[in-house]
Amino acid sequence: SMGVAVFPPGSRPIGHVHPGEEETIYCAAGRGRIVTPDGTAEIEPGVVVHVTPGTFHATESDGPEALELVCIFSPPVVFGSYEALNAPPDAKGAR
Domain ranges of the chain: 2-85
- How many Å apart are CA 4 and CA 54, to the nearest integer? 21
pLDDT digits (tens, 9 = 90+) for 26-81: 999 999 999 999 899 999 999 999 999 999 999 999 999 999 999 999 998 876 66
| CATH code of the domain occupying 2-85 | 2.60.120.10
Q: Please report the pLDDT score of residue 78 as a whole number.
A: 72
Contact 35, 12 (CB under 8 A): no
What's the predicted TM-score (pTM) here?
Answer: 0.84
Contact 29, 67 (CB under 8 A): yes
